Amino acid sequence: MKRIRNLYFILLLLLSGCYTTGRLAYTNMAELYVDKTKFQIMQPLVFHTSDSSTLLQLSVALNYLQYKKKSENAPPHASYNILYQLYPSLESYYLLDSASYNITDSLNYGNAVSRMHEFNIKTPPNEDYVLKITLIDYNSKQSYTYIQNIERITKANRLHFALIDENKNLLPRNYSYPNEKLQLKTFLPIEKLYVKMYKRNFPMAQPPFYESLIKPFDYIADSTFLLPIKNGETGLLSLPGNCFCHFQTDTLSKDGFTLFSYGKSFPEVNSVEEMIPSTRYITTKGEYEEMLKSDDKKNAIDKFWLSIAGTPERARKLIRNYYNRVQEANSFFTSYTEGWKTDRGMIYIIFGTPSIVYIGSNGEKWIYGTDKSSLSISYDFTKVINPFCNNDYRLERNSSLKYYWYQGVEAWRQ
């Protein structure tokens, strides 16, 4: 594994087509939402290991990469590159740190194995940063991008904690499966955490033209307890389904780590009970209520898809495409609630991947069509400060979006 810096590093980025003159904001970043495959190929975990150092741990699933032979008698090999770039913010041109690593593998062809890569990044305190992670599969010429906010201004935020399993492996996620046994790890010199458990059933997003009153979150927890820490690790804990816990070092602040528990198959959607709610975006009120009230929900949802598809073959295709979108929305946009329920998840499910995505510290702009064209549709999302997650965005609703919404819904129902 070779580390490349300075001129050679920049040259490599230019040749790979991934260099964007150093600026992240207002650059077309539609590749962020192209394919949920990136979550299978690369699973990044970012975790503060000291007051000025942050660990980037990247698990790469080799079986998702393309293997090729260099010559007729040579074994198939994978060739990929990992790039990371650290910026002060999404709007900044200034590159604080960057590194690139070329990796090859010829031993694991055909095996479902992952290779772990670790990088220690200097992140001095009292500043926040943005980390851009890119993986390039040279054989397939595919690249996968991930953006991670690194918070250093607050002293005990979510990145000061990481999930570990019973074998002490770091887990690149902030959710658990119902009754899964996990622990929290931290470098902070603390002896206990204050834990608040919430059981909330958050509503799904409303259509983009529908203005509704947003109720403020009720921070009064359903239950509270103390969680001891010894040698930087908590004891084993497990959550039931459909709840979340907020772990804090100080109850006077809202900062801390939040562990979510959505469902036994999350982010996938496998059961009928999970499938019916997400169809609400394309059903009439009567159709939706009929499925909810049915004693045979499997038959009811099959009947719905067949009624709008016309034939069993087309119904199967619609079901596959629709729930793939739902699962991808869960992978991309999950925040304090499942991704399919969020504003970005709703737009993604109906319209798919936007043609252009502009990102900034305060929000995202999605464009379907050509930039600055009167025929294009655009959606603006404002970033919401949320103590439980860093992935909460709210759509700027507008009555002019009503026509396009019903067009998108009708496209699913034709």
Tell me how far apart the alpha carbons of residues 13 and 316 are, in angstroms, rounded to a whole number.
42
pLDDT in tens, 120-144: 999 999 999 999 999 999 999 999 9
* Residue spans in the chain of domains classed CATH 2.60.40.10: 2-150
Grouping H, G, I as helix, E, B as strand and the rest as coil, residue 408 is helix
Query: Does residue 16 carry a pLDDT above 60?
Result: no
Q: Provide mean pLDDT across the span 75-100.
A: 94
Token duo for residue 97: 């740190």
Question: If you compute the radius of gyration of the chain from its CA atoms, what whole number of angstroms results?
Answer: 23
Query: Does residue 100 carry a pLDDT above 90?
Result: yes
Which of 34 and 78 is assigned the larger pLDDT? 78
Q: What is the pLDDT of residue 138?
A: 96
**Structural contact between residues 335 and 392, judged by C-beta atoms closer than 8 angstroms:** yes
Separation in Å, CA 94 to CA 89, 134, 143, 303: 9, 18, 23, 56
Topology of domain 158-202+216-261 in CATH is: Immunoglobulin-like (2.60.40)
Query: Does residue 170 carry a pLDDT above 90?
Result: yes
**How confident is residue 26, by pLDDT bands cut at 50, 70 and 90?**
low
Q: Provide mean pLDDT across the span 233-259.
A: 93
Query: Does residue 183 carry a pLDDT above 70?
Result: yes
**Structural contact between residues 155 and 178, judged by C-beta atoms closer than 8 angstroms:** no
Give the CATH class of 2-150.
mainly beta
Q: What is the pLDDT of residue 25?
A: 54
What angle, rounded to 10 degrees, do the helices at 312-333 and 343-351 form? Answer: 150
The secondary structure of 114-152, three-state, reads: EEEEEEEEECCCCCCEEEEEEEEECCCCEEEEEEEEECC
Pick from 177, 174, 175, 135: nearest CA to 158: 174
Query: Does residue 197 carry a pLDDT above 70?
Result: yes
202: which DSSP letter? P
Element (H, E) at 325: helix 312-333
Q: What is the pLDDT of residue 257?
A: 96
Average pLDDT, the chain: 90
**How confident is residue 295, by pLDDT bands cut at 50, 70 and 90?**
very high
Q: Which percentage of the chain shows pLDDT scores above 70? A: 93
Tell me how far apart the alpha carbons of residues 162 and 107 are, in angstroms, rounded to a whole number.
31
**Structural contact between residues 386 and 336, judged by C-beta atoms closer than 8 angstroms:** yes
Q: Provide mean pLDDT across the span 20-45.
A: 72
Query: Does residue 285 carry a pLDDT above 80?
Result: yes
Question: Pairing between strand 257-261 and 175-176?
Answer: parallel
Burial of 340 (0-12, 13-18, 19+ CB in 10 A): buried
Q: What is the pLDDT of residue 72?
A: 85
Tell me how far apart the alpha carbons of residues 175 and 180 are, in angstroms, rounded to a whole number.
10
Burial of 227 (0-12, 13-18, 19+ CB in 10 A): middle
Strand order in the sheet with 363-368: 356-360, 363-368, 377-383, 393-395
Q: Provide mean pLDDT across the span 364-390.
A: 92
Query: Does residue 3 carry a pLDDT above 50?
Result: no
Least confident segment among 13-17, 131-135, 299-303: 13-17
Separation in Å, CA 225 to CA 162, 192, 194, 324, 373: 19, 10, 6, 38, 55
> Of all residues in the chain, what percent are helix, strand and coil, respectively (each to 5)?
25, 30, 40
C-alpha 101: how far from its chain's center?
24
Query: Does residue 235 carry a pLDDT above 70?
Result: yes
Check whether the bond before 178 is cis (ω within 30° of 0).
Answer: no
**How confident is residue 179, by pLDDT bands cut at 50, 70 and 90?**
confident
**How confident is residue 4, by pLDDT bands cut at 50, 70 and 90?**
very low
Which residue is associated with the tokens 């495959």? 37
Tell me how far apart the alpha carbons of residues 265 and 178 are, in angstroms, rounded to a whole number.
10
Query: Does residue 216 carry a pLDDT above 90?
Result: no
Burial of 41 (0-12, 13-18, 19+ CB in 10 A): buried
Query: Does residue 27 carry a pLDDT above 70?
Result: no
Least confident segment among 216-220, 351-355, 403-407: 216-220
Q: Provide mean pLDDT across the span 98-124.
A: 95
**How confident is residue 383, by pLDDT bands cut at 50, 70 and 90?**
very high
Q: Which percentage of the chain shows pLDDT scores above 90? A: 76
Query: Does residue 5 carry a pLDDT above 50?
Result: no
